[in-house]
Each structure stands twice: as structure tokens, then as C-alpha cells.
Amino acid sequence: MEKIDYQILKINLKELDKQLKNRVDIVAFGGTSLTFLGLKTTSEDIDLIIDADKATRAEIKKFLHEKLGVRIDVSPKGRISPFYKLPSDYKQRSTEIEKLNVGLKHIKLYALDPLDVLVSKIGRFDSDDAKDIQHIISEKNYSFLDIQNRFGLFLRGYQKDKGYLMGKFRDFERIYEDEFGGKY
């Protein structure tokens, strides 16, 4: 599977902007957000929260999938999956990608805050997620307490088995202790 880098994303979002008729706010999450923020060089898929109606979200997903040929995950405002609702302040904490927004008429692009990306990756916590989490912590120096507090807000919006998510957090906690020398 081809990986997507910043330049490929930039070119295709500019093309997409020309196709759209209405203004759309897009918040990249997951590896896509990390790519826009320069914390990762490529992403295997495209993860986007799109503040638009269902038809516009479908149009954007179809356009990007046809252009890039990778998995495109599109979520409605405030969600990163059907059962994972983000804290209400997610957009205010996100970073506007100003250098990419220049020249766009219909799209305003943001990258989800790295701490929110980190916490969202705890929910799946596969080996790639663990690498991303370790990299984010190394780059941003988040304390265990920072992560734990933000996780608490994510847990409130989790609409599946909260015990499962807590188990994933305990797995993360063990790795944090091993890799970063303790909780605090």
C-alpha cells in the first residue's frame, strides 16, 4: 500500500477545494494529523473529521479515494468513529494548517492536537499506534498526568465498552512506565 506524504495531501486537497461548492471545515486526525504537523513523514490512510452534511462527506471521501487509492476514514463533526466522540474542545485545541489553507476557497484545514491524537490511538493500540504514541511523547514531552487527564475526557465520550478502553489505557500505562521512567 502506498503511503501518503504532506505534498501528496497538499496537491489533492487543493484539487478537492476546486470541486467543492460550499465551505467545509476539515480536521485531520490520526497519522494524517501527525503528517500535517510534521511529527510523521507519511500516513497509510487519510483520517478526516468533516463538518458538513452526509452528501458532502461522501463526495470528499470518494474524490480522495479515487485520487489516492488508499483507505479514507471520514467522520462527522466531533467523532473519530461511530462510538468515539471527541471532547467538545477538540477543534479549539486543533492547529490550523495555515500554510496549506492559503489559496483554498472552500476548505479550512486543521490538524487534531497531538495529545488528542495520542489519546485516540490508545483505543486501538496496535504496534503502529504504540510507535506513534512513543514518538509523540518524545517530541512533545507529555507527562503521564497530562495524558491521563485528557484520556478521562475521551472516556466520557466513548460509547462502547468502557472497560475495554480502560484495559487499553492500562496497557499504555505499562509501556509509559517502561519507556519513560514512571508515571509522573
Q: pLDDT (tens digit, 9 = 90+) per residue, 108-167?
A: 999 999 999 999 999 989 999 999 999 999 999 999 999 999 999 999 999 999 999 999
**What percentage of the chain has pLDDT greater than the value 90?**
84
pLDDT at 184: 45
Asked if 178 and 146 touch (Cβ cutoff 8 Å), the reply is no
pLDDT at 87: 97
Mean pLDDT of 61-86: 94
CB atoms within 10 A of CB 175: 14
**Up-side HSE of residue 113: CA atoms within 13 Å toward CB?**
16
pTM assigned to the model: 0.93
Domain spans, the chain? 4-112, 116-180
Q: pLDDT (tens digit, 9 = 90+) per residue, 107-123?
A: 999 999 999 999 999 99
Asked if CATH classification 3.30.460 holds for the domain at 4-112, the reply, yes or no, is: yes
Q: How deeply is 89 buried, as exposed, middle or buried, from its count of CB atoms within 10 A (0-12, 13-18, 19+)?
A: exposed
Question: How far apart (Å, rounded) are the C-alpha atoms in residues 128 and 137?
Answer: 14
